[in-house]
Amino acid sequence: DTLQVGELARKLRKETSEIIKKLMSLGIMATINQELDKDTIELVAAEYGVEVEEEILVDETVFETYEVEDEEKDLQVRPPVVTIMGHVDHGKTTLLDSIRNTKVTAGEAGGITQHIGAYQIEYNGKKISFLDTPGHAAFTTMRARGAQVTDITILVVAADDGVMPQTVEAINHAKAAEVPIIVAVNKMDKEAANPDRVMQELTEHGLVSEAWGGDTIFVNVSALKGEGIDDLLEMIQLVSEVEELKANPNRSAAGSVIEAQLDKGRGPVATLLVQNGTLNVGDSIVVGHTFGRVRAMVNDLGRRVKTAGPSTPVEITGLNDVPQAGDQFMVFTDEKKARQVGEARFNKHQEAMRKESSKLNLDDLFSQIQEGDIKEINVIIKGDVQGSVEALAGSLNKIDVSGVKVKIIHTGVGAITESDIILASASNAIMIGFNVRPDNNAKRTAEVEKVDVRLHRIIYNVIEEIESAMKGMLDPVF
Ligand code: GDP
């Protein structure tokens, strides 16, 4: 809070001698190294028509610095936030619509559905929030930006089709995020429905039904006919209780951006999911690199609301720019502070866009291991045939270089896709292509996300490359 005379002179862009004279005229005898207190600084600054703003330290951790730790006694149960994933055409959208249409929040019936990226329903007097962009791409894109919003994943598997490639991807994405999975076996109304086959196939991916002695909950539903929906919601509430989801509604809000865009009439519009605290109209807020005051809030039924508690999605206006899905937001009690933090983050954001981000990279893996940052090397493998993918995964799993091991977080057959790259980015993983290449979208995304993609044709070469990288013996690539 203090400044030396010389420092003050620099900040005011004046000669030190002039400041000393000014101080003398104010009755203060000072030398160049003398510490001045806050009042004196303000006094001198005012002489030059400068208003003193307290400088606040802004760095990556600024949100955490301002985040208040909640005490156990202030925590209350909050609704779960659910994401629906699964293979294309297995009924994700139909299920989301079916749940929404039948279980609108009590007292809200008659509202007009607004697609703001998430909605909330009420079942047995308790609320449940759903993200209504189904699929793991959105889920993992958010995670790549640091947002961990999903509490429970519903894995939709069509009973007449069984486990398909995107079913497996969804499982791996949910596992990578350590989010519990409930399986909804859908299309039970169909003649060809075979739920036992779904159970059997999922067993191979580590999801063993309770009926078979495992601990994964399976619910049979027909999203189209609205059958089994109540069972599914009950299971969501059960898992939610086990997870002991809590938040403190009596503090200023913090959370994540679900989606955002520029609206012609209203300016930047963002759907925020409140994850802790309560958001109010009029709050000073920093959202990613943007900031402002919450001008208006609208819920998923298009109704204006004044407050939004934990796990509630609301669409807000009043920001100076459009944030990104997955950005974090935080309310500041002091508007000036919100502005300062917002501006600082904006500058940092610009800077970061220019600078390279530091993703896991085989070329400097050794130094990262040396610094003790890494205990496991996350790896994703895509290959041309299942057999070689499994062989490669098996060999990589055996690698152990002074206690550092390889962890395979996803494998698959086929070209490297954008979704693979996003998972790699979110999980800070190395992407290995075995006799396959990235498609064009994947290539572009890998460049943007700085994911290290390694292409090989011989298993031995992959193993050697990873081992060498771990030992710091990789030949530099130019
Ligand atoms: P998504 O791609 O996973 O979002 O799948 P959709 O929800 O778009 O559903 C794909 C197709 O399956 C649509 O034609 C739906 O009407 C149909 N469908 C979804 N759920 C059911 C169901 O429970 N029973 C039957 N028979 N068809 C369903």
Looking at this predicted complex, what is its ipTM?
0.99
Helices (H) and strands (E) in the chain, counts: 15, 24
**pLDDT score at 62:** 47
pTM beyond 0.80? no
Cα–Cα dist 118/274, whole Å? 12
pLDDT in tens, the chain (478 residues): 678 888 888 878 788 888 888 888 888 888 888 888 888 888 888 787 776 655 544 443 445 444 557 888 999 999 999 999 999 999 999 999 999 987 765 555 566 677 889 999 999 999 999 998 777 777 777 777 767 899 999 999 999 999 999 999 899 989 988 999 999 999 999 999 999 999 999 999 999 999 999 999 999 999 999 999 999 999 999 999 999 999 999 998 999 999 999 988 889 999 999 999 999 999 999 998 888 999 999 999 889 999 999 999 999 999 988 998 888 898 988 778 788 877 777 777 666 554 444 566 777 777 777 776 677 889 999 999 988 899 999 999 999 888 888 999 899 999 999 889 988 888 889 999 999 999 998 998 898 888 999 999 998 899 999 988 888 766 555 4
Is the CB of 410 inside a 6 Å radius of any atom of ligand 1? no
Q: Is the CB of 228 under 6 A from ligand 1?
A: no
Coil/strand/helix, residue 103: coil
Ligand 1, atom 10: nearest CA belongs to which residue? Answer: 89
Spatial contact of 66 and 60, defined as CB atoms under 8 Å apart: no
Q: Do residues 232 and 219 make contact, with C-beta atoms less than 8 angstroms apart?
A: yes
pLDDT on residue 57: 42
Q: What are phi and psi of 176, to 5 degrees?
A: -60, -30
Numbered residues of the known binding site for GTP? 86-93, 132-136, 186-189
Nearest CA owner, ligand 1 atom 2 = 89
- Over its C-alpha atoms, the chain yields an Rg (Å, rounded) of 27
pLDDT at residue number 8: 84
The Cα 397–Cα 463 span in angstroms is 10
Cα(378) to ligand 1 centroid in Å equals: 35
